[in-house]
Amino acid sequence: MLVSAASFAACALAAEAGTESGPAASAGPPQAPPPEETIKVFIGAAFGSGTARYTVNGTTKSFSDQFQGSSDESPLIAVKVVSFGVAVRPNLYAGMDLTGLTQSGTVGTDKTNLQLSNYFATLTWFPWERGLFLRGGAGVSSLFKGVGSESERSNGLGVLISAGYALRVHGAHHLTFSAEQSWQTYWGSGATRADNSEYNAAYVGYMWMP
């Protein structure tokens, strides 16, 4: 009897041990940790043209007015040197925008050049995370005027609003189409120093956005 009871107890313990080790034995390999979320960015540049004007002592002139009588007046060239953004939300990017506009020609015997530059902090919003985008920005602006050996620079503040579309060509590469309007106001005084300026421009460009 004692031998039979001992045998029964041993079988019961073995069966219980097998039951406890079953789930552990059938468990799969350990799960890998989820991948870390990557930082979303975009960077781009663009080239275009438009119109610009500035006000001096209450008199408003377009850039083209400065080159009346010039035989080699160039068109107004607008260059978005760089646009950059880092995602702060899935469809909202904080970044920077550096833009320059220039026009030149010879008036009489003097080589004349006008150049407007913006150095702006921007917010760019993609309503559907891709494609259409809206941008607003503000920062430092500068208007340079050179006539012959003389030059003058007006410094101040500016703002811009812009809308565009980023067309995906392949992978992270996009072709962009955009239009923007910008206003500037300048400090200081002088008979020929600008009080304010504004421009509108249309661009075709490139954007890298993975």
Q: What are the pLDDT digits (tens) for 121-175?
A: 999 999 999 899 999 999 999 999 988 888 889 999 999 999 999 999 999 999 9
Of 94, 79, 84, give the one whose Cα is nearest residue 44.
84
Taking the C-alpha atoms of residue 208 and residue 133, their distance in angstroms, rounded to an integer, is 14
The better pLDDT of the pair 17, 98 is held by 98
Q: Domains (ranges, CATH) in the chain?
A: 41-208 (2.40.160.20)
* Contact of 53 with 198, CB cutoff 8 Å: yes
Tokens 């407007």 belong to: 116
pTM for this prediction: 0.78
Band of residue 71 on the pLDDT scale cut at 50, 70, 90? confident
Lowest mean pLDDT among 122-131, 156-165, 184-193, 198-207: 184-193
Nearby residues of 123 by Cβ (< 8 Å), 6 or more positions away: 92, 93, 94, 95, 135, 136, 137
Band of residue 33 on the pLDDT scale cut at 50, 70, 90? low
* 6 pLDDT more than 50: no
Which amino acid makes up residue 132?
L
Q: What CA–CA distances, in Å, run from 149 to 95, 109, 113, 152, 189?
A: 37, 11, 11, 10, 21
Residue 11, pLDDT score: 47
